[in-house]
Structure 1
Amino acid sequence: MKFLLVVPPLAGHVAPLRGVAAVLSARGHQVAWCGPCPELSALVSGPVFPAGDSAPFSLALRPSELRGFAALKYLWESYLVPLADAMVPGVASAVASFEPDVVVADQQAMAGALVAARCGLPWATSASTSTELADPLGSLPKIASWVTDLQAGLRARHGVLLGDLRFSPHLVLAFTTRALAGESRLAVPVSYVGPALPAASGEWSPVDDRPLVVVTLGTSNTAVGSRFLAESVDALAGMPAVQGLVVDPSGSLISESCALAPWIPQVAVFAHASVVVCHGGHNTVCEALSAGVPLVVAPIRDDQSMLAQQVTAAGAGVRVRFDRAKAADIRKAIESAEQYRPGAAKIRESFEAAGGAEEAASHLERLG
């Protein structure tokens, strides 16, 4: 069988499907990627069909101060919709050339859904984050109607009669579990396969036997994260009983009390961690909870607030205010994290039982 994976050029959205692609290839299937290049080519291995130029719509252009509805408005009007329009011709060309049996479309690569529906191909949604499954706009009817209208315009421009482009009527692959995300409110089939995590890469060992506290805001939040990271360094300076590791992509921090690094192999490092302080990015949350590590979550924007809510509801961590948390607040949260270890362990068990990339690949095989 042939599988075409249509994705945006965003590492967090590509990451879950890399493991699925590896499993499908190992089972003898042909797998190709489709998305904006050259960015996508740098994120994946294997054949890549170019689709659109993401540069004019890059999320890196989004003003760092945007929050709430302003951030959502920018995401849809200045990124998701124009990116879909730009990608459709390339995706259509990839389908004509590669002739896939199944299209897998990330939720933020709606061109995959548009072209698959137009061509009558079975397609699956890759839900790299779980927040849409809970219908976050359900209590905000005016905003939900605005999103619906934007999608209606997309469908009309590309001659497609279809429902919500973010949710395939055939299969939605949710890279999480009910234990973390809760039950879906969607009227489409959702398969909770758990995170498809990469194998631990590189060797890493803690400095000593003290509990390890890791602080990371991901690599895409450098511009907005300096204040929080500096407060975290101050928090760890007052905790001599732990060893701190702060990820500082900018290289601007100075500390004599904890280690600083521009990047870390997260899976390998989290295996040694006692607490992870993070922004609530889906991959970071899942990588920490896969190791049974409790979280301190400081959501910045987009889906991170919903993920923080899921973490706290599952009893797997505590939330702090990204914009307002001081060193004392972060220190208090870190010190309280031990009580959330049982909740984190339950999420880890649910991840282990879900099947990950192998289970996702099996669902896709059945779809074809």
Structure 2
Amino acid sequence: MRVLCTSILSPSQTREAIRFARLLSGAGHEVHIATEEHLLGFFLDQGVPATPCLPSLFGDAMTAGEETRDAVGHLRSGAASPDTAALALAGPHLLSQFTALDALAHEFKPDLLLRDAMDVSACLVAEKLAIPQVAMASGAKGFTDPAALLPYLNQWRSTTGLPLQDDPLSLTAHGHLDYLPPSWTFAPHLPPAHAYRQPAFHDPRAKLPSWILGLPTDRPLVYAGIGCALPLFLPAPDGHRPLAGQPDPATVLRSMTEGLSRLDCTAVVSTSGVSVAGLDPAPHVHVVDHVPQPLLLEAVDLFLTHGGYTSVREAISTATPMAVLPRTADQPMNARRVTELGIGGEVTDPTPAGIASTCRRLLDDGSVLRRVKQARLACLALPTVETAVGDLESLVNHHTAPQ
């Protein structure tokens, strides 16, 4: 079986492509990854070929007209409606994405397209090749509404000579993958996923720093982090600055640190390498560049998070309550869903006082811990992610091309 994977926009999504590339290649299948130039480094030395043939989806959107540019801005700020998100994903800028992926697919001749959930062009390429396509786990599914995307997809189908579709769920005609069972889903507009158990953290080199062993355990331990998406909003080395209204990661980190400085706890704040000038944390707040997040989550009482989907899943897999301070993209929707499920709460007041108040309330609420333990148990009842290989093989073997 020949599998073409796509990975775009965010470093967090490279992990999914690498994970499935390793699983599939380990089962004897040939895998190739199509990605963007700025993500290529994540695939080097992974044992799977990757081609940086895809243009920057949102970079192209910036030159596709004011309406499209504004739609991307709304999506990045976390304020996009389903229609606005659809334009940001599948507007006029999609043509270059489709053309590049179509060319690689024509050369590679895949039997299956395993796509980044934000890569809508892969749906069209799969339809052109009459092969199945499946979206990997992603927070993008939180703002992906098949009904809103259908008009855009049909416009591109018409442009590329493909048959039009009446069913919005043609977007996920062959299903999608996730690590949460249907009752705990963060994808409200999509049908139930093929759900698998969240893979255990497996970096053999990772360990917690030795200084953590000296932290006091007579008070709650809180971890705060901003993941790998927010640092992308820093000014680029070439002088390019983020769009107006985009979140400033340094400001978020300052608010987190000052908020935890007001809380009776022991706290670790990971900056993801972002420089925060003049930061003056309280003695009980320890600010570091990086820490192995999945490992530390196994020992903390509360996770103050930006609310990226990977971080949310890691918190659930370790039964860690969450205080979610959303800033961009899917994070506001994830924060609301965390609150709805009772596994944490949204920080609606982003001031240091508001952050401290939300964290204090969640630490005092035993029902949140009980609820997130229920979520973890539900995830432990899922099949291992390794069984996805057999499911994908069966999908390809039983797929019948449309006549």
Name the TM-score class by shorter chain: 0.7 to 0.9
1:325 is aligned, of 337, 344, 350, to 350
Please state if 1:4 is matched with 2:4: yes
Q: Which runs of 5+ in 1 are unaligned?
A: 139-143
* From 231, 248, 257, the counterpart of 2:255: 231
Counterpart of 1:192 in structure 2 is 195
Identity %: 19
Say if 2:121 is the partner of 1:94: no
- 2:242 aligned partner: none
CA contact (8 A) 1:233 1:246 kept: no
State the partner residue of 2:39: 40
**In 2, distance between residues paired with 1:272 and 1:85?**
47
Residues 110 and 166, structure 1, Cα contact 8 Å, conserved in 2: no
Alignment-mate amino acid for residue 215 of structure 1: A
Structure 1 residues 40 and 226, CA gap change in structure 2 (3 angstroms):
closer
2:94 matched residue in structure 1: 84
User: Equivalent residue for 1:141?
Assistant: none
Using the alignment, how far apart are the partners of 2:320 and 2:132 within structure 1?
38
- Give 1:171 deviation, angstroms: 2.1
- The answer to whether the 8 A contact 2:271-2:290 is kept is yes
Partners of 1:290 and 1:243 in 2: CA distance: 21
- The answer for the alignment partner of 2:326 in structure 1 is 299
Q: 1:335-359 CA deviation, whole Å, 9 max, x = no partner?
A: 2324211111122222222235313
Q: In the aligned structure 2, how far is the partner of 1:245 from the partner of 1:115?
A: 43
**2:401 maps to which residue?**
none
| Cα deviation, residue 11, structure 1 | 1.8
Q: Secondary structure at the match of 2:19?
A: helix
Cα distance in structure 2, aligned partners of 1:83 and 1:292: 40
Deviates more, 1:50-59 or 1:348-357: 50-59
Instruction: Tell me which amino acid in the other structure corresponds to 1:238.
Output: R
Alpha-carbon spacing, 1:82–1:300, altered in 2? closer, same or farther (3 Å): same
1:154 to 2:156 alignment: yes
CA distance in 1, matches of 2:252, 2:385: 34
Report the equivalent of 2:302.
275
1:68 matched to 2:79? The reply is yes
Equivalent pairs counted in the alignment come to 355
Q: Which moved more, 1:221-230 or 1:304-313?
A: 221-230
| Residues 82/197 of structure 1: CA separation in 2 closer, same or farther (3 Å cut) | farther
TM superposition shift of 1:367:
1.0
Describe the shift of the 1:18–1:346 C-alpha distance in structure 2 as closer, same or farther (beyond 3 A).
farther
Most deviating of 298-307 and 198-207: 198-207
In the TM superposition, what whole-angstrom CA distance separates every residue of 1:29-57 from its partner, at most 9, and x where no partner exists?
Answer: 22111122x22322223111343321762
Cα distance, 1:316 vs. partner?
0.8
> C-alpha distance in 2, partners of 1:16/1:81?
25
Q: 1:349 to 1:40 in 2, by over 3 A?
A: same
1:226 CA displacement = 3.1
Residues 4-35 of structure 1, C-alpha deviations (whole Å, 9 max, x = no match): 11221422233223222222122222211112
Structure-2 residue corresponding to 1:168 = 172
CA contact (8 A) 1:199 1:267 kept: no
> 1:327 is aligned with what amino acid?
P
| Matches of 1:190 and 1:31, distance apart in 2 | 23
Per-residue deviation, 1:119: 1.1
Report the secondary structure of 1:68's partner residue: coil
Say which of 184, 201, 205 aligns to 1:180. Answer: 184
Aligned to 1:263: 290
Q: Which moved more, 1:147-156 or 1:310-319?
A: 147-156
Q: Does 1:361 align with 2:386?
A: no
Task: Name which of structure 1's ranges 81-90 and 64-73 shifts more when overlaid on structure 2.
Answer: 64-73
AA of the residue aligned to 1:52: L
TM-superposed CA distance for 1:157, in Å, is 2.1
1:131–1:105: structure 2 CA closer, same or farther, 3 Å change rule? closer
**Distance in 1 (alpha carbons) for counterparts of 2:6 and 2:314:** 23
Q: Are 1:51 and 1:89, in contact at CA under 8 Å, matched by a contact in 2?
A: no
TM value normalised by structure 1:
0.84
Q: TM-score under structure 2 normalisation? A: 0.77
Deviation at 1:83, TM superposition (A): 5.3
Alpha-carbon distance between aligned partners in 1 of 2:11 and 2:188, rounded to the nearest angstrom: 25
Distance 1:271 1:59 in 2: 40
1:208 and 2:251 are equivalent in the alignment? no
User: Contact 2:224/2:270 (CA < 8 Å) preserved in 1?
Assistant: yes
Query: In the TM superposition, what is the alpha-carbon distance from 1:309 to its structure 2 partner?
Result: 2.1
Instruction: Give the Cα separation in 1 of the matches to 2:90 and 2:297.
Output: 32
CA separation of 1:101 and 1:63: change in aligned 2, threshold 3 A: closer
